[in-house]
Amino acid sequence: MTRFWWVRHGPTHRKDMIGWTDVAADLSDVDRLTRLAAHLPATAPVISSDLLRCRATAEALIGERRSLGHDPQLREINFGDWEARTPAELAAAEPDLSQKFWSAPGDIALSGGESWNTMAARVNARVRKLCDEFPDQDVIAVAHFGVILSQIQMAAGMSPQAAISFQIDYLSVTRIDHLGDGMWRVYGVNQNP
């Protein structure tokens, strides 16, 4: 069994769409980071998205753990032309597409970006490799809201629409276990140590 400890990066305080927009995380809450690091398995390797907010969060948590590097396959969904625009701006500019993108995510690709299903397939491919590389081990993965939701979706066999209903707080932990033979278990979602 490979046990994935998914950690959402630290807060960015942005209110716009920042999928691939590379912005810093606020990691000033040292007490919270200390509690989070203590909650995570002490010997688990750490991998993260290659975007700054995840890289910095992973580096704040790594301690004596081994780094597996920063992987672009674990990036958030690419919002394309929607990057750095607020949901209100998008709803006003493209009301039909905005409504469809959030109410029926899946194959709807944004101009210059990617669909939910494309992002999920990218992340799933990397997770399968991690399962092969780290059987019967813990792996800490620092990633994004959409990435973590895509793993809940995959593990629970639910629709993208059902998956996006989950709340994933900054610096929270979502534990998903690969039991082998394509079997998964969602062990805990949005835990805040």
pLDDT tens per residue across span 40-97: 999 999 999 999 999 999 999 999 999 999 999 999 999 999 999 999 998 899 899 8
Which pLDDT score, from 0 to 100, does residue 104 have? Answer: 87
What is the topology classification, in CATH, of domain 2-191? Rossmann fold (3.40.50)
Dump pLDDT digits (tens) for 2-49.
999 999 999 999 999 999 999 999 999 999 999 999 999 999 999 999
Question: What is the pTM (predicted TM-score) of this model?
Answer: 0.96
On the question of pLDDT at 103 being above 90, the answer is no
Q: Where are the domains of the chain?
A: 2-191
Q: How far is CA 159 from the centre of its chain?
A: 17
Mean pLDDT for the stretch of residues 149-161: 97
120-149 tens-digit pLDDT? 999 999 999 999 999 999 999 999 999 999
pLDDT at 160 over 90: yes
Please give the structure tokens belonging to residue 140. Answer: 């800490």
Burial of residue 13, with CB atoms counted within 10 A of its CB: 0-12 exposed, 13-18 middle, 19 or more buried: exposed
Q: What confidence category does residue 109 fall into, taking pLDDT thresholds of 50, 70 and 90?
A: confident
Question: From CA 73, how far away is CA 147, in angstroms rounded?
Answer: 10
- pLDDT score for 66: 97
